[in-house]
Copies of this chain bind each other. A is one copy, B any other.
């Protein structure tokens, strides 16, 4: 059924944070080596999702936060009138579901953008654990406040910056997040469709497309479909000086 990934899966259902290559990005980052077992004890590991699969659905009972292990995830909220708002993209090592921590139900829908595997942290157990481990609690606060701030950053982007600036900011954000995982920060595959980018950045698809070709003509980037190469990150940064995550 599964191939390479199932090797990590099959031995036992228990996750192995100890050996996970993402442990320096994910929750284990905050946990002492010798306490890592306790985190492993609560993690439910490893379902694989195909592109388009829902990891969880808005308004479904909230059970757990997810850490992306491989692949990519987008979250979005759907309003009554059916319009969608993409609220975030999540890459390996990042935690999905923090916005739902307040209620009984998921505040958004999480969808796999490509073949994706995740670790699940059931919320009651996670809360218990953070109570018992102050460093982990601290880290949760950190992650959440970072999420709040990146929301502010996004709001700023949306309210003050042009289409070009928004897109430059997104590309640079993705770039640095790839780099963090020791992958190329200048050449990578966009995990999301143009329409997702457009939706996330509050633009029309056509505008995204036009900006991409404009950047390409200026020699700042090179794109073919979802492949993208940042040829001149300095110019990109010049377009949009700040964006962090």
Contact = CB atoms under 8 A, between A and B. Distances in A.
Interface string A215-245: 0000000000000000000000000011000
A125 interface: no
Interface string A82-119: 01010100000000001111110001100000000000
Interface string A15-59: 000000000000000000000000000000000000000000000
Q: How many copies does the complex hold?
A: 2
A174 interface: no
Nearest to A143: B102
Interface residues of A, number: 46
A13 to B, nearest CB: 27
Contact of A87 (B140, B155, B201, B202): B155
Residue of A100, A102, A148, A202 contacting most chain B CB atoms (<10 Å): A148
B83 A160 contact: yes
Interface stretch (A73-81, A176-184, A185-193): A73-81
Contacts of A145: 98-103, 107, 144
A210 interface: no
Nearest to A77: B152
A100 B147 CA distance: 11
B127 A137 contact: yes
A131 interface: yes
A81 B128 CA distance: 44
Contact of A101 (B144, B160, B203): B144
Nearest to A108: B152
Contacts of A83: 160
A134 B134 contact: no
Given A87-B152, A127-B137, 4 more contacts: A77-B152, A79-B242, A83-B160, A140-B141
Interface of A: 77, 79-81, 83, 85, 87, 98-103, 107-108, 127-128, 130-131, 134, 137-138, 140-149, 151-152, 154-156, 158-160, 199, 201-203, 241-242
